[in-house]
Structure 1
Amino acid sequence: MRLLFIGDVVGKAGRAVVLAELPKLRAAYALDFVVVNGENAAGGFGITEAICDDLLNAGADCVTLGNHAFDQREALVFIERQPRLIRPANYPKGTPGRGANLIESASGARVLVVNLLGRVFLDALDDPFATIERELAACPLGTACDAAVIDFHAEATSEKQAFAWFVDGRASLVVGTHTHVPTADARILPGGAAYMSDAGMTGDYDSVIGMEKDEPVRRFTTRLPTSRFEPASGPATLCGVAVETNAQGLAVKVAPVRIGGALAPARPDFW
């Protein structure tokens, strides 16, 4: 299978580059399945139903979230009726929505998508290691699903790397989100899990992690908040990771993806 994961979409600029580029990517590379992290898509904080629908209509098969999952209050309601919107699975019992789902691709392949929040430097939720153990036991790769994609929304690279080693051999892709900076460590672990510490944000990099520069700089230098954070609105870079899997659902190829905006371009050479 050919999988594409697109990192945290930030604001209008991030949405614009996804809507412009994703249909072309699906057609050019005959992609089987696309996951987009949309937790910053609505003004940098959360997601709305209209934005979720736009991302799905542009070619995403699934939209994942993170620590801003419910910043837009309407998400508490519409997430219940949108099975392709996935919030972190280690939220407490009773949280609206679902943290994992088995989604059928256009070609009929079954893809397990799981979203999890890390606990280092973030609000401590349920144990992500114990949570993924349950999810993978309930839907094992190669028997119950043809591919398994895990969006690990976490701050610390140590936690992300430990998590990837924990599930190696049982997942097709473990990709970090949240820090909004693409890492240079895309690789395949010995058991066949593709890994990248952070997919990077899809947004304007002439910014501070997607936000207009003045307010973050002011807060760091004066320790005083003077206005709201606003998403940067310049040309955006689409960032993510591309994976090709074998018949067992394990990764055989992985590469970063960067299109447009300020960062050096990168496309997989195996498609």
Structure 2
Amino acid sequence: MRLMFCGDVVGRSGRDAIAAHLPVLKKDLSLDFVVVNGENAASGFGMTEKICNQFFEAGADVVTGGNHSWDQRECISYIEREPRLLRPMNFPEGTPGKGAAVFDAPGNRKVLVMNAMARLFMDPLDDPFAAVRKIMDRVKIGHNVDAVILDFHGEATSEKVAMGHYLDGKASLVVGTHTHIPTADHQILVGGTAFQTDAGMTGDYDSVIGMNKEVPVQRFLKKMPTERMRPADGEATLCGIFVETDDETGLARRVEPVRVGGRLSQMVPAVQG
């Protein structure tokens, strides 16, 4: 299978990048399944039904969230109606929505997508490792699912790397989100799991992690309240990661970064057929 994950979409420029580039990438890379993290898509804070539908129309199969999942109140009811929208699985029991689900892919194949949130320097949620283990006790890659993808939303690189090793050999891809800066450590771990500490954001990189740079710079300079931060509106770079899996095992045999548009150096994997 050919999988792609797109990092945190920030504001209108990020949404425009998904609309412009994802349909082309899906065709040119012959993608079987696409996951988009959309938790900053609505003016930098949360998601809406309209925005999620735009992602689905562009070619996303699943949209994941993070610590901003509830910033738009309409998402609380929408997530109960839309099974393709996930929030971190380690929110307390009774939180609306789901954090993991199995989805159909072409060729009668099944893909498990999980969304979890780390705890170091983040909200004190339930243990993400235990939450992942509970799901993985029931699902085995290469047997009852054909691929497994985890979006691990977190601040600390150590926690995200540890999750990668924890799931090595059990997942097709473990990819971090939240820090909005793409890391240069994309690799296939020794057990066959593709990993990247952070996919980076799909947003304008002439910014401070996607936000118009003047306001956050003033916050650092003066340590005083300022106006509300707003997303930068220049051309965005779609940042993500491409994974090709083995049809029998579901483990990765190829992993490469994807960067299209905007300011960052461009990177699109070459594929045949």
TM-score by length of structure 2 reads 0.98
Q: Contact (CA 8 Å) 2:80, 2:97: kept in 1 or not? A: yes
Alpha-carbon distance in 1 for matches of 2:252, 2:139: 18
Instruction: Give the deviation of 1:25 after TM superposition.
Output: 0.9
2:137 alignment partner, SS class: helix
Q: How many residues align?
A: 271
Alpha-carbon distance in 2 for matches of 1:185, 1:270: 21
Q: Does 1:57 align with 2:53?
A: no
Instruction: Give the deviation of 1:269 after TM superposition.
Output: 3.2
2:179 alignment partner, SS class: coil
Alpha-carbon distance in 2 for matches of 1:141, 1:126: 25
Letter in 2 for 1:165: H
Instruction: Give the deviation of 1:107 after TM superposition.
Output: 3.2
Q: Which residue of 2 aligns with 1:268?
A: 269
Q: Which residue of 2 aligns with 1:79?
A: 79
1:18 alignment partner, SS class: helix
Letter in 1 for 2:238: L
Q: Deviations over 1:130-156 (max 9, x none)?
A: 111011112221111100000000000
Q: Deviations over 1:135-191 (max 9, x none)?
A: 111222111110000000000000001111011000000000000000000000011
Alpha-carbon distance in 2 for matches of 1:175, 1:270: 21
Q: Which residue of 2 aligns with 1:129?
A: 129
2:257 alignment partner, SS class: strand
Alpha-carbon distance in 2 for matches of 1:185, 1:155: 16
Alpha-carbon distance in 2 for matches of 1:225, 1:56: 37
Alpha-carbon distance in 2 for matches of 1:122, 1:2: 32
Alpha-carbon distance in 2 for matches of 1:119, 1:141: 26
2:76 alignment partner, SS class: helix
Alpha-carbon distance in 1 for matches of 2:63, 2:119: 21
Q: Which residue of 1 aligns with 2:188?
A: 188
Q: Contact (CA 8 Å) 1:215, 1:225: kept in 2 or not? A: no
Q: Which residue of 2 aligns with 1:138?
A: 138
Q: Which residue of 1 aligns with 2:220?
A: 220
Structure 1 segments unaligned to the other structure (5+ residues) = none
Alpha-carbon distance in 2 for matches of 1:6, 1:12: 15
Q: Which consecutive aligned stretches of 4+ in structure 1 deviate over 2 angstroms post-superposition? A: none
Q: Contact (CA 8 Å) 1:32, 1:107: kept in 2 or not? A: no
Q: Deviations over 1:238-267 (max 9, x none)?
A: 000000000210000000000010000011
2:72 alignment partner, SS class: coil
Q: Does 1:242 align with 2:242?
A: yes
1:243 alignment partner, SS class: strand
Alpha-carbon distance in 2 for matches of 1:124, 1:255: 33
Farther-moved stretch of structure 1 (103-112 vs 56-65): 103-112
Q: Deviations over 1:48-102 (max 9, x none)?
A: 0000010011100000000000100011000001000010000000000000010
Alpha-carbon distance in 2 for matches of 1:256, 1:24: 16
TM-score by length of structure 1 reads 0.99
Alpha-carbon distance in 2 for matches of 1:59, 1:107: 17
Letter in 1 for 2:128: P
Instruction: Give the deviation of 1:237 after TM superposition.
Output: 0.2
Q: Deviations over 1:95-141 (max 9, x none)?
A: 00000010001332100000000000001100011111011112221
Q: Contact (CA 8 Å) 1:46, 1:71: kept in 2 or not? A: yes
Q: Which residue of 1 aligns with 2:10?
A: 10
2:78 alignment partner, SS class: helix
Alpha-carbon distance in 2 for matches of 1:196, 1:226: 34
Q: Does 1:27 align with 2:27?
A: yes
Alpha-carbon distance in 1 for matches of 2:126, 2:140: 21
Instruction: Give the deviation of 1:270 after TM superposition.
Output: 4.3
Letter in 2 for 1:64: T
Structure 2 segments unaligned to the other structure (5+ residues) = none
Q: Contact (CA 8 Å) 2:2, 2:33: kept in 1 or not? A: yes
TM-align CA RMSD: 0.8
After superposition, where does 1:39-54 map in structure 2 within 5 Å? Answer: 39-54=39-54
